[in-house]
Structure 1
Amino acid sequence: MRAVYRVLAYLLALEVVVQAAAIAWALFGLTTWIENGGVLDKAGIESESVVFDGVTGFMVHGLNGTLIVPALGLLFLISSFFARFAGAIAWAGAAFALVVVQVALGIFAHTVPALGMLHGAVALGLLVVALVAARKSAAPAAPATESASTGAHAAPLV
């Protein structure tokens, strides 16, 4: 089950990269479109008539952030109960908590744009937590018994 845990942790980290790439594509496409004379206003957004290279990035970012990332975070947390190594549940719990905060920030940043800064910072935190969890799941278990021949404690492999 450690392998499932590790794969889910890496997938969660990969989704953070996908999210960053999608929103960058969308914003660069939008600014290029505006610089070339495009106009964006509330009516254009509501009519969905605004089309530019990168508009799909907004859709990818929104759907990934509200569906895929939370689903992976929940599966990661569930898998942590079966991974059976020290810290598995704590790392997955931290990742899941960051996902919950991330989704909430993504929703509330539409009302309070300054929360977008925290949205980006929490994404980086999620990336780090997911990568650390994946690495910890790959580490060999430290021997817990004394060496039979010497009576000394065996040193953990590093």
Structure 2
Amino acid sequence: MKVLYKVLAYLIAAEVAVQAMAVVFADAGMGKWVEQGGVLDKAVMESDAPPFPEVVGLMVHGMNGIMVIPVVALLLLVSSFFTKIPGAVKAAGLVLLLVVLQVSLGILGHDIPGLGALHGLNALLLFSAAVYAARRDRAAAVTTPARPDVRVGSAG
């Protein structure tokens, strides 16, 4: 179970990196499209035809953030109950809490654009919490070194 827990925690960190890559890929594609004369307006937003190929980054960002990461975070929390790593449940609970906050900020950011800044900041917190959770077993493995068996007064 320790391996599953660790893999799930690192997977969440990797998914956060994928999220950043996907949204910047889409943003860069949109910037190139606009520089070439594309106009982003309501008609384009409501159109079924993708205006530029990199728009797939927005789709990946949305589906990954709404479906994949929350499921992995729930699996991490469930696995944390069965692993013997000290603090695993607390770390997994923190990851899940940050995921719920991240999804909420992402959804609300469409109505309140200022929340986009918090969405980005929370992504960094989520990444850090996921790496922290994955490394919990290392923290538990660090113990004081055993004292060598030294015999005092035995000169031979």
State the TM-score, normalizing by the size of structure 1.
Answer: 0.87
Partner SS, residue 82 of structure 1: coil
Contact 1:5 1:134 in 2 (8 A): yes
Partner SS, residue 53 of structure 2: coil
Partner SS, residue 135 of structure 2: helix
Alignment pair present for 1:79 and 2:79: yes
Contact 2:44 2:51 in 1 (8 A): no
- Matching residue of 1:108: 108
* Structure 2 stretches lacking a partner, 5+ long: 151-156
Q: Which has the larger radius of gyration?
A: 2
Deviation at 1:140, TM superposition (A): 5.1
Q: Please give the alpha-carbon distance, in whole angstroms, between the structure 1 residues aligned to 2:116 and 2:44.
A: 22
Alignment pair present for 1:24 and 2:24: yes
Q: Please give the alpha-carbon distance, in whole angstroms, between the structure 2 residues aligned to 1:14 and 1:90.
A: 20
Identity over aligned residues, as a percent? 49
For 2:56, give the aligned amino acid: T
Greater mean deviation of Cα atoms: 95-104 or 128-137: 128-137
Q: Please give the alpha-carbon distance, in whole angstroms, between the structure 1 residues aligned to 2:30 and 2:71.
A: 29
Number of residues paired by the alignment? 148
> Any residues of structure 2 matched to 1:6-155 within 5 Å, and which?
6-139=6-139, 141=141
- Matching residue of 1:153: none
Deviation at 1:30, TM superposition (A): 0.4
- Matching residue of 1:154: none
Change (3 A) 1:140 1:89: closer
- For residues 101-127 of structure 1, the C-alpha deviation after alignment (integer angstroms, 9 at most, x for no partner) is 000000000000010000010010010
State the TM-score, normalizing by the size of structure 2.
Answer: 0.88
Q: Please give the alpha-carbon distance, in whole angstroms, between the structure 2 residues aligned to 1:10 and 1:132.
A: 9
Greater mean deviation of Cα atoms: 65-74 or 39-48: 39-48
- For residues 20-69 of structure 1, the C-alpha deviation after alignment (integer angstroms, 9 at most, x for no partner) is 00000000100110111001111111112342131100000000000000
* Structure 1 stretches lacking a partner, 5+ long: 151-158
Contact 1:40 1:50 in 2 (8 A): no
Contact 2:77 2:89 in 1 (8 A): yes
